[in-house]
Amino acid sequence: MNTSFAEALSAGLLVVVLACAVVRPWGWPEAVVAVPAAGLVIGTGAISLAHAGAEAERLGPVIGFLAAVLVLAQLCDDEGLFHACGAWMARTAVGRPRRLLVQVFAVASVITAVLSLDATVVLLTPVVFATAARLGARPKPHLYACTHLSNTASLLLPVSNLTNLLAFAASELSFTRFAALMALPWLTAIGVEYVVMRRFFAADLDAGAQAPPGEVAPEMPLFAVVTVACTLAGFVLTSAMGINPAWAALAGALALAARALAQRRTTPGAIVRAAAWPFLAFVLALGIVVRAVVDNGLASALAHLVPLGSGLPALLGIAALAAVLANVINNLPATLVLLPLTAPVGSGPVLAVLLGVNIGPNLTYAGSLATLLWRRIVREHDTDVALGEFTRLGLLVVPAALALAVVALWGSLQLVGG
């Protein structure tokens, strides 16, 4: 195919795929447009069959891991884990909205890190809505915490975000070294989020909250908690043994699935649907379309913009570029584009990309699919978020959180080593 035409076709299809993922016309799943687009770039020769196959092979383990984690999160919800967390927050934050914000930060950060950002957006956000309503607290600060932390708090573990899984594979780090390097940036970014959000929503947090009606608090589902803990231990063990951690996620999901099926609290069909197959197809198709864009000129264009080296100035530049690109073309395509350019330099630049694509999306609605999904959930609860307010908060949070998190990453690299 003519190079100029291939470049225009692949770039145009990427724009269409992302636009449809944002708008979702007629309620279509993202895959309805993405899969034909991937077929078109292959069929027209905009990407060679060999490169498309290589991209599918690279994304295959990542997609399998994502499917297992999505099922695990849904089964934890079926066990009552999120409901129990909401009841605990309501019981211990009576009359104290500021304390509720601290608890939402703590719960959202842990759930995002352990069960992925999708669990925070899809499963925790409705719980936070209900908890704020029970307390008579204004929900806005706590809802914003859910969306911001679904991005920012996903820095800690390889399993926390799809972008993390991609970066983890590119970095060639072990599970424990990845977590050790990202722990300080994770805490730093969350700290900045909390300080800014507490001040930004001071008026909402100063409003009183009434006591909820008396009710029996649900017990924490011990089996689900133990299963998640064992799954995390399995991530560390499989990584140390050179085995794909997806097997540990699968084992945890199977344990919860067997219990739920035995107690007739779910069905095989519901478990299969929890894997979100249309979204997995979208991820694979999007990866092929992005690879076509990269093969047809984007990689060479960005290669001149990516700072060289792994010193602090280079890491700051890489993270800033990743954040800007995430807000232009969404964080998942930005990750797919930048990782091949930074991986040869070392794990430091790869993790700097991750900081940019995970913290940066809090600046705009379109920065991440998680934010778009969160916005739809908020609207389903008859609430809307003003674009101006969302952007003002993002402008206060993102530059400070990103810069300080990069400094923390640089310090971690000096202490732990890449």
pLDDT of residue 18: 79
**Is pLDDT above 80 for 84?**
yes
Alpha helical stretches, state H, 201-266? 202-206, 222-240, 246-262
Task: Using alpha carbons, select from 219, 184, 189, 256 the residue that is nearest to residue 411.
Answer: 184
The reported pTM is: 0.81
Return the residue matching tokens 């003519």.
2
Per-residue pLDDT band for 317 (boundaries 50, 70, 90) equals: very high
pLDDT at 393 over 90: yes
Mean pLDDT of the chain, nearest integer:
87
What is the per-residue pLDDT across 42-64, written as a single tens digit (0 to 9) for each?
Answer: 998 888 899 999 889 888 887 88
Q: Which one has a higher pLDDT value, 39 or 92? A: 39
- With a cut of 90, say whether residue 254 has pLDDT above it: yes
pLDDT at 362: 93
Least confident of 185-189, 261-265, 328-332, 405-409: 328-332
Can you tell me the mean pLDDT for 115-122? Answer: 82
What was the pLDDT predicted at 210? 59
Per-residue confidence (pLDDT) for residue 366, from 0 to 100: 73
275 pLDDT higher than 80: yes
Lowest mean pLDDT of 118-122, 252-256, 381-385, name the range.
Answer: 381-385
Nearest to 398 by CA among 357, 346, 366: 357
**pLDDT value for 211:** 53
Residue type, 359: I
Characterize 211-228 residue by residue with b for buried, 16 or more Cβ atoms within 10 angstroms of its Cβ, and e for exposed. Answer: ebeeeeeeeebeebeebb
pLDDT > 70 in the chain, percent: 95
Tell me what pLDDT residue 77 has. 85
Q: Report residue 399 as tokens.
A: 């530059």
pLDDT, residue 255, reads: 94
Question: Are 295 and 9 within 8 A, CB to CB?
Answer: no
Tokens, residue 194: 């909390």
Distance of CA 323 to the CA centre of its chain: 14
Mean pLDDT within 36-43: 93
- Per-residue pLDDT of 195-238, as tens digits, reads 999 999 998 888 765 555 555 566 788 898 899 889 888 888 88
Per-residue confidence band for 23, with pLDDT thresholds at 50, 70 and 90:
confident
Residue 302 has pLDDT above 90, yes or no: no
CA distance 328 to 178: 27
Please tell me the distance from the alpha carbon of residue 319 to that of residue 325, in angstroms, as a whole number. Answer: 10
Q: Region 97-102: what's the mean pLDDT? A: 86
**Does residue 369 have a pLDDT over 80?**
no
